[in-house]
Structure 1
């Protein structure tokens, strides 16, 4: 019997990577990609566990799941930090002014 690629195994890996990269976008994109990757990984794991001899590519699912968890944690922390900073600096305008001052001090 011929083994086939596990459905969405590559996409899960890509979304796991994007969840880590997305933590740099105030955490929003990382949370979205992380949740999607985890849901897809759960479904792929159930399919694989039903008939493991029929599928290949489970390594991508495991790796993508681990990356999604890491990206979700980093993105969640970044999102919480961004929200706290908005309240500390008094809204978006105050936050932008504080970030400009930080960038000027770095030059």
Structure 2
């Protein structure tokens, strides 16, 4: 029997990569892509485990899942950092003002 590609294996890998990249956008995009990649990878792993000889692309699913977990952790840390900064400085303007003060103080 001919082997077939696991459903969405490449998409899971892409979403895993996007979850890491998305942590730079205040973490929101990274959380979204990470969760989607984890849900899709769970389903793909179930399909693969039902009949491993029938499918290829399992390596993409495993790699995408690992990247999604890393991206999710980084994104959650980014979201928490943003929330803590907003609480400490009141708004994004307060953060920008603090950055300007630091640059003036250290001669930047």
Q: Structure 1-normalised TM-score? A: 0.92
Shift in Å, 1:94 = 1.2
- Report the RMSD for the aligned CA atoms in angstroms: 1.6
Counterpart CA distance in 1 for 2:59 and 2:107 is: 43
Counterpart CA distance in 2 for 1:49 and 1:103 is: 55
- The 1:10–1:97 alpha-carbon spacing in structure 2 relative to 1, beyond 3 Å, is same
Deviations 1:10-59 (A, max 9, x none): 00000000000000001000000000000000000000001111100000
- The 1:56–1:84 alpha-carbon spacing in structure 2 relative to 1, beyond 3 Å, is same
Count of aligned positions: 107
- The 1:102–1:19 alpha-carbon spacing in structure 2 relative to 1, beyond 3 Å, is farther
Query: Partner residue of 1:48?
Result: 48
Query: Partner residue of 1:79?
Result: 79
Given the alignment of the two structures, is residue 9 of structure 1 paired with residue 9 of structure 2, yes or no?
yes
User: Which stretches in structure 1 are left out of the alignment for 5+ residues?
Assistant: none
| Larger-Rg structure | 2
- The 1:93–1:48 alpha-carbon spacing in structure 2 relative to 1, beyond 3 Å, is same
User: Which stretches in structure 2 are left out of the alignment for 5+ residues?
Assistant: none
